[in-house]
Amino acid sequence: MATRFVGALALFVGALALCACGAPSATAKFAASSDCSVTVTNVDYAGCNLAGRDLSHDDLQSDDFVRANLAGANLDFANLQGANFKDAKLAGVKTNDLTICVNAEVGPCTMAGLRSASSRDKSQGD
């Protein structure tokens, strides 16, 4: 009986050790930004509600918009190069032919990750 208990305990401790390694699990708590004010110095908009906001002409290079709500936001003339829009709500986002898309090409940007719809991107599966 004691042997089974020690064996089960060893498996449990081993499983805990494996869970501690590597990337966070899909069930890990999401860390949203604590400051959703749109400023030149703020680069973290993760989880922010920016629906309908006028972000035209803003420099948003490499900013983090993971899980942010940008539905209906105006991104005309904005610079989005390198920004992260993973799992963001993008329905109705406005871009124009002078918006710099995530992939550093000029817009208008497509809603799928806000990359431009150039032939190069289509060949890469975008």
**What tens digit of pLDDT does each residue of 83-121 get?**
999 999 999 999 999 999 999 999 999 867 898 877 454
Q: Which token pair is 33? A: 């930004």
State the pLDDT at residue 4: 58
Asked whether residue 105 is assigned to any structural domain, the reply reads yes
Asked whether residue 33 is assigned to any structural domain, the reply reads no
Instruction: Count the domains in the chain.
Output: 1
- CATH number for position 70: 2.160.20.80
Asked whether residue 6 is assigned to any structural domain, the reply reads no
**Taking residues 59-76, what's their average pLDDT?**
96
Asked whether residue 54 is assigned to any structural domain, the reply reads yes
Q: Global pTM? A: 0.69
5 secondary structure, DSSP code: H
Is 37:45 a contact under the CB 8 Å cutoff?
no
**Taking residues 63-79, what's their average pLDDT?**
96
What's the CA gap between 1 and 76, in Å, rounded?
70
State the pLDDT at residue 117: 79
Asked whether residue 107 is assigned to any structural domain, the reply reads yes
Q: Around Cβ 59, how many Cβ atoms within 10 Å?
A: 13
Asked whether residue 62 is assigned to any structural domain, the reply reads yes
Asked whether residue 110 is assigned to any structural domain, the reply reads yes
**What tens digit of pLDDT does each residue of 3-28 get?**
555 455 454 444 444 444 444 444 45
State the pLDDT at residue 113: 80
Domain coverage including residue 62: 43-119
30 secondary structure, DSSP code: P
